């Protein structure tokens, strides 16, 4: 493969990555909307935001769904960050909604 062919192939793959990234953003925003609803329920029921047992279930669920090539450890690292951000969103939303009452 010459450089021109390599550049063309790289461009093709990069366009594919762009499409996948947009789907990931869409899925993350969908997850965030659900997390916001969970936060409302928790606020109304005076439940804690952080639930370690639930997070363990999330990790088990994603591990069971993983068919690779990403490793279980890599996936867990990604979801650690996602869930950390979701907890932050819940805290902010719960606080803001509590201030409005």
Question: Hey, where are the domains in the chain?
Answer: 3-99
Quick one: pLDDT at residue 15? Answer: 98
Quick one: pLDDT at residue 98? Answer: 62
DSSP code of residue 70: S
Q: Is the peptide bond before 20 cis (omega within 30 degrees of 0)?
A: no
| CA torsion angle 69 74 78 84 (round to 10) | 150
Q: What is the topology classification, in CATH, of domain 3-99? A: Chorismate Mutase Domain, subunit A (1.20.59)
How far are the Cα atoms of 20, 59, 94, 99 from residue 36, in angstroms, in the given order? Answer: 24, 20, 8, 16
Query: Could you tell me the pTM of the whole model?
Result: 0.83
For each successive 10 residues of the chain (101 residues), what is the average pLDDT?
A: 95 98 98 92 89 94 96 96 92 70 56
């Amino acid at each position: 493969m010459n450089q021109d062919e390599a550049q063309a192939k790289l461009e093709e793959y990069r366009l594919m990555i762009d499409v996948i990234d947009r789907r990931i953003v869409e899925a993350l925003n969908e997850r965030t909307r659900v997390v916001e609803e969970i936060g409302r329920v928790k606020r109304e029921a005076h439940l804690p935001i952080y639930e370690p047992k639930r997070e363990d279930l999330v990790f088990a669920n994603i591990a069971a769904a993983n068919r690779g090539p990403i490793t279980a450890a890599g996936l867990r690292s990604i979801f650690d960050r996602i869930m950390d951000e979701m907890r932050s969103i819940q805290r902010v939303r719960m606080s803001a909604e509590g201030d409005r009452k």
